[in-house]
């Protein structure tokens, strides 16, 4: 689906370390100086999902294929980025291209890690990034208002769009992000072509020290408070520890390492699953002896659209879908047993696919 979550933040907060940890296809350079990352790094990330492992245990397929999302490591923004500081225009353009934002914020003290913003203050750091994105959006909105003001004199549609733009302008001038404006679907269509930076959903990562991995600290608590006011999620983690875990190939070594830190799973797993949901994505499964596979679809998609994820011909020639709910499949332990129990349903073109559905599509081309 090529949907991307972009990792952003001030310089030296742990963005590239986090990217190295989550990405299984690329490694970003992580160094203690500004603008270490200039061109965005892109990595494909497997989405951890215990359901596919449980299905594989029952089916015993030749291979198991998880679903994936793209994670983009974007260079550190600095104060003044909206005016071009620190190659700001380039970095803001990179953010414009992603669908959701993972905002990494430093919540630890370490005199060996360079910091130009003074004392550790995660709320202030968040506000620096917010302000730069808001200023860039304000610039985009004001330019569009100038165009629409002329058109609105003779075009009723342009008049409606102008009113939406003026609401956005007033909101941004108050130092607020567009995602908090409660725009309707119709309102959003009026500004869709601007790809506003502050309209993107956001997930915060509090990068804490080892001692605070499980409990958090005063810095992460302050960040958690402002994130809650936005209705945003926050993941507390130590990016360096997560990077070490991700580099371990031996499952036993990984288990011992996590046991030492009293971890039941890497925090990265929670982060990736949260990013996946932030993008509005769900998963359905196909299960056969050749392959058990997870497929990504948008929440609210109907059966033909989901069939098209496998192949466009499946959508064009869609006839019907055979569906077993995930819990039913696990309960009855096979497709045949679920069918015998009356748990296999035949669904048509209007069926809204549910997260976890195990599906088989019938089509004719």
Q: Which residues are annotated as a binding site for ATP?
A: 12-17
Q: Which stretches of the chain are assigned E, i.e. beta strand?
A: 4-8, 41-46, 63-65, 68-73, 100-107, 202-208, 233-237, 281-287, 291-298, 318-324, 345-347, 358-363
The whole-angstrom separation of Cα 21 and Cα 205 is 13
Residue-wise DSSP of 330-360: HHH-SHHHHHHTT--EEE-TT-BPPTT-EEE
Query: Can you spell out the DSSP letters for 35-46?
Result: TS--SPEEEEEE
Give the tokens for residue 151: 């058109």
Give the largest Cα separation in the chain, rounded.
Answer: 70
Strands 68-73, 41-46: pairing kind:
antiparallel
Dihedral (CA of 353, 356, 358, 363) sign: positive
Q: Would you call 89 helix, strand, or coil by DSSP?
A: helix
CA torsion sign for 46, 70, 203, 18 is positive
Q: Which residues contact 245 (CB under 8 A, 6 or more apart)?
A: 21, 254, 257, 258, 266, 268
DSSP 74: P
3-state class of 116 per DSSP? coil
CA 32/CA 16 separation, integer angstroms: 11
Instruction: Report the binding-site residues.
Output: 12-17
**Residue 164 token pair:** 């939406």
């Amino acid at each position: 689906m090529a949907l991307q979550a972009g990792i952003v933040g001030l310089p030296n907060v742990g963005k590239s370390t986090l990217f190295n940890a989550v990405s299984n296809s690329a490694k970003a350079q992580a160094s203690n100086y500004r603008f270490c990352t200039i061109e965005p790094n892109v990595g494909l990330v497997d989405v951890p999902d215990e359901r596919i492992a449980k299905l594989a245990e029952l089916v015993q397929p030749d291979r198991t294929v998880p679903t994936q999302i793209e994670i983009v490591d974007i260079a550190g923004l600095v104060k003044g980025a909206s005016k071009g500081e620190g190659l700001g225009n380039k970095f803001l353009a990179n953010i414009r291209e992603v669908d959701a934002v993972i905002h990494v914020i430093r919540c630890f003290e370490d005199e060996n890690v360079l910091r130009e913003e003074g004392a550790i203050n995660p709320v202030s750091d968040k506000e620096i990034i917010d302000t730069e994105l808001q200023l860039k959006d304000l610039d985009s909105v004001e330019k569009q208002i100038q165009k629409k003001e002329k058109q609105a004199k003779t075009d009723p549609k342009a008049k409606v769009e102008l009113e939406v733009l003026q609401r956005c302008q007033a909101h941004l001038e108050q130092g607020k992000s567009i995602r908090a404006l409660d725009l309707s679907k119709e309102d959003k269509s009026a500004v869709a072509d601007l790809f506003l930076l502050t309209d993107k959903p956001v997930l915060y990562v509090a990068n804490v020290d080892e001692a605070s991995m499980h409990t958090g600290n005063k810095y992460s608590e302050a960040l958690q408070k402002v994130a809650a006011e936005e209705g945003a999620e926050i993941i507390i983690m130590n990016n360096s520890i997560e990077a070490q875990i991700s580099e371990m190939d031996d499952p036993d070594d990984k288990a011992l390492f996590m046991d030492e830190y009293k971890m039941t799973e890497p925090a990265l797993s929670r982060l990736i699953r949260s990013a996946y949901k932030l993008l509005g994505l769900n998963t359905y499964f196909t299960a056969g002896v050749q392959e058990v596979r997870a497929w990504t679809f948008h929440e609210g998609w109907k059966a033909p659209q989901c069939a098209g994820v496998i192949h466009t011909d499946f959508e064009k020639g869609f006839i019907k879908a055979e569906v077993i709910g995930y819990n039913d499949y696990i309960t009855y332990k096979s497709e045949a047993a679920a069918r015998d129990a009356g748990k296999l349903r035949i669904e048509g073109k209007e069926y809204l696919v549910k997260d976890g559905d195990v599906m088989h599509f019938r089509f004719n081309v």
